[in-house]
Amino acid sequence: MKPLTRFYALCLITLGFLCGVTCSILFFQQWQLYGGSISRFVVLSLLCVVCRCLPLYISEDCSIDMSFISTLTIVLTEGPLAAVTICFLTSPFVVIPTEDGKGYTHLFNTDIIKTGFNTANLTLTVASAGLAFALTGGTAGNLQLPQVLLPMLSFIVVSMAVNSLIMILLFVLEQQIPFYPTIFRMFLQLLPSMLCAAPIGFFLALLMMGTNVYMAVLFMLPLLLARYSFRLFLDGQKQQIAMVKTLAAAIEAKDPYTEGHSQRVSDYAGQIAQEMGLSPRRIEQIQLAALFHDVGKIGVPDAILQKPSRLTPVEWQSMRSHPVIGIQILQHTSYYEYIREMVLHHHEYYNGQGYPDGTKGDEIPLEAYILSAADAYDAITSDRPYRKGLEPEQARQILLKEAGAQFHPDVANTAAAMIAEGRLTVTTLPKVAIAATEKTAAEGEG
């Protein structure tokens, strides 16, 4: 962690600790004054811990949990002070299974700064959102519609805004990512899960107010079943991606000089697509298509793939058949239907001079052009036995020169700007292979 990032984290931890302690003191003073129920407090605390201990891993660096459901329920039934207090005091008891399911992360095996930062983030987020809830007329126990809608919406929006701001400042300081428009993308990514969780939290609050707090325990059983079903769905998706990567690795094993090419292209394409403002769903599709874009090379003779010198015209004809072969492979499953067009057209040119069909302009989806530029960039900047890879700046010049000819002008300009700022990079795999001269490099021989 960089010194400035550490300083930011420590400042946030201090602020979060002061906020948590202050809110806890105020809550227990009120709780004692009005004769609060110990059993109610314990059940709500257990509900909060359970929700925070059951995350769903969407990817290696992204997970969602059900904590917002319990937090909103506590705010609606007990008030913001109770929510902050319970979230703050239960943090040391949160035990989260690792993504591989082989271990757990908890207070005693996690870096203290990371634990403190996460606790402070949650505490400050709930406190800020709780304040917005109160200022817009929200009161504990008042669940009448439509009066409660504005306070609930305020709580949701402020929760997302504060959490996004805290996290994006950390990423800006540590990873030098741009504040804008990343902050808005992070906010929008949180929106669907928050909006889906809010009705569940509201219904859970209704049960607790209508009968007693123990109804929350019974209600959690079908909720946990739904979570389990969703986890199975995510596991199935991960297995599909693992199979794709295995197939890509098997293809690349035929040509050792293109090791890691598909993964690098996937990373590049995802970064370009994100920079161009595409939705998370479209970005995911582009990255999956990138992993599959060379699957047709399984039908190209090894002698051509592994040839240590330039290909003859006849050999090039065989090599250029791989997009069509790839489509023939993918047509046997409907699961990958939405990526077929990208795989087929990733060697087409914007001016219609590419292959296999010579389509051009808007006849080809933007995603295919993004994949094409990412493929070419990796080809330009990597080595082959018979030529040396170019520097990123030289690749940038080629992209700009071919904008409107080989490459979609918007895609080429976006990628060139990212290269100039040093933001089109890959850290997941070592760079091993591909291109050099302007013509063959721009063709994306990978």
Count of CA atoms in the C-beta half-sphere (13 A) of 5: 14
Closest CA to 295 of 256, 257, 335, 328: 328
- Tell me if 356 sits within 8 A of 321, measured CB to CB: yes
Q: How far is the C-alpha of 411 from the C-alpha of 405, rounded, in Å?
A: 12
Q: Calculate ∠ Cα 259-263-267, nearest 5°.
A: 140
Q: How far is the C-alpha of 331 from the C-alpha of 333, rounded, in Å?
A: 5
Which numeric CATH code is attached to 3-235? 1.10.1760.20
| Other Cβ atoms closer than 10 A to 204 | 23
Burial code (b: 16+ CB inside 10 Å, e: under 16) for 53-63 equals bbbbbeeeeee
Show me where the domains of the chain are located: 3-235, 247-442
> What is the block-wise mean pLDDT of the chain (446 residues), using blocks of 10 residues?
90 96 94 77 87 67 68 92 95 82 82 92 96 94 90 92 89 77 70 77 80 67 72 71 72 68 90 90 89 85 79 88 87 76 93 90 92 93 74 92 94 94 67 29 42
Residue type, 64: I
Look at the pTM and tell me if it is higher than 0.85: no
The whole-number pLDDT of residue 258 equals 65
Q: Calculate ∠ Cα 366-331-428, nearest 5°.
A: 55
The whole-number pLDDT of residue 431 equals 31
Q: How far is the C-alpha of 13 from the C-alpha of 121, rounded, in Å?
A: 8
Q: How far is the C-alpha of 346 from the C-alpha of 364, rounded, in Å?
A: 9
Closest CA to 354 of 382, 377, 322, 320: 320
Q: Which residues pair with 96 in a beta bridge?
A: 105
271: tokens are 């970064």
- Tell me if 418 sits within 8 A of 424, measured CB to CB: yes
| Other Cβ atoms closer than 10 A to 174 | 15
Q: How far is the C-alpha of 368 from the C-alpha of 444, rounded, in Å?
A: 13
Q: How far is the C-alpha of 181 from the C-alpha of 279, rounded, in Å?
A: 13
293: tokens are 């874009």
Query: Which position has the token pair 């091993």?
Result: 432
DSSP 153-186: HHHHHHHHHHHHHHHHHHHHHHH---HHHHHHHH
* 407 phi, psi to nearest 5 deg: -105, 150
351: tokens are 């001016």
**CATH assignment of 247-442, given 1.10.3210.10, 1.50.10.10, 3.30.70.260, 1.10.10.10?**
1.10.3210.10
- Establish whether the linkage from the previous residue to 146 is cis, with ω within 30° of 0: yes
Residue type, 129: A
SS3 content of the chain, % helix, strand, coil (to 5): 70, 5, 30
Per-residue CA distances from 431 to 258, 260, 263, 265 (Å):
9, 7, 10, 11
Indicate the DSSP class of residue 63: E
The whole-number pLDDT of residue 58 equals 54
The whole-number pLDDT of residue 134 equals 95
